[in-house]
Structure 1
Amino acid sequence: MSVVAGVRSRSIPGPVRTAVLALGAQSALALAYLLATDAGLAAPSMLAVPFIWLTAAAVAVRHAERPAVGRASRWLGRGVGILYALALAWLIGVVGPAMGGAGVDLVFLPPGWGPVVRFSGAGVAFTLVPYRAVGVLALAYLVSLAARNVLEEGLSAGVGGIVALGSCAGCALPLLGSLAGALGGAGVGLSVGGGTYLLGTAAYVLAAWLLAARPLRRYTTR
């Protein structure tokens, strides 16, 4: 009986197990968030967006190929990842110039979309949407891993990463300007921006997969 159970458990792919665990954790956190705040629910398709981003991020980071490289390449890869995170955060509006006075506030949007933390300080402002913040950090980490391949094996090893960066530009561009509508009127903004958010979500999943698996590398490093 134990042998059969062991065979069955091993037959479940690791990424699937990670996805199930990530979805379970998100569901528990979402329920606790709804019980603790007066946040409402969005349309099912929009409510799914943060779950997809966060699950894709968890699977990609957990199962990404981690090339064994020297210390110098590790630090250079980290530097590339940090620069990428800052650039992407600026592009999608996480970080930007302050437009008003200093202050901090919370906006209780639906789970995953909120709680949004908005801060405005000395010339700099940031708006932290939970799933986007995690998504940016995950992609930055994956970019740092892909950069290690480039540093150790040459530019040809980064072809898959270049394609992924193009895809990630696709995941960012549909989000430009759409967050303002969501913050201005939570339910209305999320509904009107649904098409662009779903397009950005598909591009994000593609970018995460390309950066984690780097499937083109096997054809460019022979």
Structure 2
Amino acid sequence: MATERVDVASLVPEPSTVFAGFVVLTIEALLALLYLTEVSSIALSLVVLPFVWINVGLWALWRTDPPAAPVRRRRIAAVVAVGYALILAYFGGLLDLGYAFVSVPGYDPSYGWYVATSLPPGFGPAVTYESDLLIVRLFPYQVVGYTALAYLVYVTVIDAAGAAVSGVLGLLSCVSCSWPVIATIVTGVAGSSSALAAQAYQQSLPLSTAVFVVTVGLLYWRPSL
């Protein structure tokens, strides 16, 4: 069994990263304070945890560079990453079948595009599209988080193929890669819902956040068997 050693020096953030992080955290703190002045009470996790998704996701996108690879390998990795993103989007509640296929008791759909601005920062502003064929719900924290995961899978597949293990098999042969994929999907199933408000407030946010952070860490450092 071989493991990839973590370079301790690589964990020290660069000045540009520190500055960008300071700007992002300052903006998020202002948004959170502004929102808290407008609500009477709310669970602190609903204000803090979406920013964990956004910050960890942005950090992963900022710090990850894909290795050099032939065009064909990059295309294979892109196909796998897009498929992975679609799976996460479906099980995470961003994509769903339209009302011609499913019905939600007590919920009156608003067909077309609309924006929900009353949700906590990170949950909102949430862009939603509803139709008979397809329902799309774009929560900022999930969009950033799933984009980061898909990109990390893209880089992981390139690395796996470069190590003489082909495409998806290379990804699935890595325990530290396949477990986060499965865990993220399972968490999405537990947290998905059909209505906008239910999706925002009833999902298991602490559990899904923990799975997300672990997934990003494992896919970023990519320890392998």
Task: Tell me the TM-score normalised to structure 2 length.
Answer: 0.73
Q: Hey, what's the Cα distance between the residues in 1 that align with 2:73 and 2:60?
A: 21
Contact 1:147 1:158 survives alignment (8 Å): yes
Letter of the 2:82 counterpart: I
Report how far residue 33 of structure 1 moved. 8.4
Letter of the 1:206 counterpart: V
Q: Hey, what's the Cα distance between the residues in 2 that align with 1:165 and 1:56?
A: 20
Stretch of structure 1 that moved more, 141-150 or 167-176: 167-176
Q: Hey, what's the Cα distance between the residues in 2 that align with 1:53 and 1:19?
A: 18
Report how far residue 101 of structure 1 moved. 6.3
Counterparts of 1:93-172 in structure 2, within 5 Å, are 93-99=93-99, 102-107=111-116, 108-121=118-131, 123-155=133-165, 158=171, 162-172=175-185
Match of 1:46 in 2: 46
Match of 1:200 in 2: 208
By relative contact order (CA 8 Å, sep 6+), the higher-ranking structure is 2
Q: Percent identity of the aligned residues?
A: 25
Runs of 4+ aligned residues of structure 1 deviating over 6 Å after TM superposition are none
Q: Hey, what's the Cα distance between the residues in 2 that align with 1:34 and 1:119?
A: 29
Q: Hey, what's the Cα distance between the residues in 2 that align with 1:125 and 1:116?
A: 13
Q: Hey, what's the Cα distance between the residues in 2 that align with 1:185 and 1:205?
A: 23
RMSD: 3.5
Q: Say if 1:49 and 1:33 are closer, same or farther in 2 by CA, change over 3 A.
A: closer
Report how far residue 210 of structure 1 moved. 1.0
Q: Say if 1:101 and 1:28 are closer, same or farther in 2 by CA, change over 3 A.
A: closer
Contact 2:46 2:120 survives alignment (8 Å): no
Letter of the 1:124 counterpart: L
Q: Hey, what's the Cα distance between the residues in 2 that align with 1:11 and 1:79?
A: 29
Letter of the 1:144 counterpart: Y
Letter of the 2:219 counterpart: L
Match of 1:61 in 2: 61
Q: Hey, what's the Cα distance between the residues in 1 that align with 2:14 and 2:185?
A: 25
Match of 2:30 in 1: 31
Can you list the C-alpha shifts for 1:91-147, whole angstroms capped at 9, x where unaligned? 111011111563222222010011111101351110111000111111111101111
Q: Hey, what's the Cα distance between the residues in 1 that align with 2:38 and 2:75?
A: 41
SS at match of 1:66: coil
Q: Hey, what's the Cα distance between the residues in 2 that align with 1:213 and 1:94?
A: 27
Q: Say if 1:158 and 1:165 are closer, same or farther in 2 by CA, change over 3 A.
A: closer
Q: Hey, what's the Cα distance between the residues in 2 that align with 1:13 and 1:145?
A: 22
Report how far residue 215 of structure 1 moved. 2.3
Match of 1:212 in 2: 220
Report how far residue 207 of structure 1 moved. 0.6
Task: Tell me the TM-score normalised to structure 1 length.
Answer: 0.74
Consecutive unaligned residues of structure 1, counting only runs of 5 or more, are 1-9
SS at match of 2:67: coil
Which is helix-richer, 1 or 2?
A: 1
Contact 1:161 1:210 survives alignment (8 Å): no
Match of 1:84 in 2: 84
Contact 1:50 1:131 survives alignment (8 Å): yes
Q: Hey, what's the Cα distance between the residues in 1 that align with 2:156 and 2:91?
A: 21
Q: Hey, what's the Cα distance between the residues in 2 that align with 1:149 and 1:59?
A: 20
Q: Hey, what's the Cα distance between the residues in 2 that align with 1:129 and 1:39?
A: 20
Q: Say if 1:78 and 1:184 are closer, same or farther in 2 by CA, change over 3 A.
A: closer
Contact 1:53 1:205 survives alignment (8 Å): yes
Consecutive unaligned residues of structure 2, counting only runs of 5 or more, are 1-8, 100-108
